[in-house]
Amino acid sequence: MDYAEQLSTLQNAELIFDKQQCCHALERMACEITAKLKDAMPLVLPVMGGAVVFTGQLLPLLNFPLDFDYIHVSRYGNKLVGGNFEWTRLPKQDMRGRTVLILDDILDEGHTMAAIYNKAMSLGAKACYTAVFANKLLPHKKPIKADFVGLDVPNRYVFGFGMDVKGAWRNLPEIYAIGQ
């Protein structure tokens, strides 16, 4: 998509959550995560690249010591529909006996998060928690439910606050939806 098409996408999108709503959701999540994991010194694993915005804003709000690494796996790339898993990077940190917190931008169908959760457990994590900024409301059951959720979003293609539309608009402080 070229520059003009990206501008048109944003201009024709519907604002779902404004900046203030996103900030409040993030602060609430940070409190919930701190209450649950403050004594665990978890290994925090954001899923690149969607979790970058979410992670960068969440970490300063967590009031406990933690270790940090990342994982890179995708089913989307620059497409609108998920495909096969592409495992680009597994964490370098040892997960054996650790509490792990996986961060991602959105829990859509849940297949990617379920695969990452299962991978963490197979690598010896003693406990694994999941946190997503957006949880897409679907009419069917997902293979995994996030432990911590910022906002529930409609069953539409959403972007902003780390989520992209064909590679762009991750940098928006709000969440928008396209299509009906």
Name all domains of the chain by residue range, CATH numbers in brackets: 15-77+85-154 (3.40.50.2020)
Q: Are 114 and 132 in contact (CB under 8 A)?
A: no
Q: What integer pLDDT is reported at residue 75 of this predicted model?
A: 64
What's the Rg (C-alpha) of the chain? Answer: 16
Containing H/E element for 73?
strand 71-74
C-alpha to C-alpha distance for 23 and 150, rounded to whole angstroms: 9
Q: What integer pLDDT is reported at residue 140 of this predicted model?
A: 95
| Coil, helix or strand at residue 156 | coil
What residue type is assigned to position 80 of the chain? Answer: L
Q: What integer pLDDT is reported at residue 180 of this predicted model?
A: 66
Q: What integer pLDDT is reported at residue 80 of this predicted model?
A: 47
Nearest one of 158, 110, 125 to 45, comparing CA atoms: 125
Indicate the DSSP class of residue 165. Answer: B
C-alpha to C-alpha distance for 35 and 144, rounded to whole angstroms: 22
Nearest one of 103, 96, 111 to 147, comparing CA atoms: 103
The verdict on pTM exceeding 0.85 is yes
Q: Are 162 and 170 in contact (CB under 8 A)?
A: yes
Q: What is the pLDDT along the chain (180 residues), one digit of tens a residue?
A: 788 999 999 999 999 999 999 999 999 999 999 999 999 999 999 998 889 999 999 999 999 999 999 999 866 544 444 557 777 888 899 999 999 999 999 999 999 899 999 999 999 999 999 999 999 999 999 999 999 999 999 999 999 999 999 889 999 999 999 976
